Amino acid sequence: MSGVVNVWEKVPRKLTLAQWLYLPEIVRGLRVTIRHFLRNLVRIRDLPTILYPEQKRDYSDRFRGKHILKTREDGTLKCVACYMCQQACPAECITIVAGEHPKIAYEKYPLVFDIDMLRCVFCGFCVDACPKDAIWMTGDYEMAFSSRQEAIFGIDKLIEKPGLPVKDGYGYRPYYPGDGTVPPADASVSPVIPGDGERARLREAGLLPAFRPSAPQLPAKN
């Protein structure tokens, strides 16, 4: 805590004669602008502006760009059409139609997985919502369309092609304890229902926080 400062204390209310006469002030002002000009000329590489599209800005590996649907090793989608990303999406831009998996008897998979890129606000809620590590974002932000229909990306445009590089690299992806950028192990080959023993092990390893006993008691939903 501290007090209140009157901004006029540091600034003279009336200008001096020299300041009224423009000329000395012009010289003083030019000193600032010419200093900037010369510095930019000498250190042209440090300029904040860039020559897009020849040059591109370096974004972090958390950048929230175009989505990508992750695949298993055999090239099938990890997505199990659980609708959680569709539900979490604040812009309501995801459309999923689920079908029965042709090979695995108990699993669903998306027949349709559309993202309307014109509606999408790139908030990353779908990535946070996915329980199967199936949707990530990439660093790709160059999406131009010539029609609204074209802006609806289906599975063919969203799927990660195994073996092919991801345009502009991976962006925002599920958060892991640690540095938050470690690519996860393939969730599809991990045991799905480990039971309580597994939970205790995770807790010991520091991956699960201890449950807070003072959690607020919420009223029953009416």
Which positions from 162 through 201 interact with another protein, judged by CB under 8 A? 171-172, 174-177, 179-180, 184, 187, 190-196, 198-199
34 binds another protein (CB under 8 A): no
* Dihedral sign, Cα of residue 97, residue 80, residue 170, residue 63: positive
Q: How many residues bind another protein (CB under 8 A)?
A: 74
Angle 147-53-135 (CA atoms, 0-180°, nearest 5)? Answer: 60
**Cβ proximity to another protein, 10 vs 146, nearer residue:** 10
Q: Are strands 108-116 and 152-153 parallel, antiparallel or unpaired?
A: antiparallel
* Part of the chain binding another protein (CB under 8 A), chosen from 62-70, 100-108, 111-119, 155-163: 62-70
**Cβ proximity to another protein, 58 vs 156, nearer residue:** 58
- Restricting to residues 130-169, which ones interact with another protein according to CB under 8 A? 131-133, 137
The residues near 213 (Cβ < 8 Å, ≥ 6 apart) are none
Shortest Cβ distance from residue 199 to another protein (Å)?
5
Tokens of 174: 């599920």
- Bond preceding residue 165 cis, omega within 30 of 0: no
* Part of the chain binding another protein (CB under 8 A), chosen from 9-17, 69-77, 101-109, 155-163: 9-17
Q: Are 112 and 141 in contact (CB under 8 A)?
A: no
List the beta bridge partners of residue 95: 114
**Cβ proximity to another protein, 42 vs 193, nearer residue:** 193
The residues near 216 (Cβ < 8 Å, ≥ 6 apart) are none
109 binds another protein (CB under 8 A): no
2 binds another protein (CB under 8 A): yes
One residue of 7, 100, 105, 164 binding another protein per CB under 8 A = 7
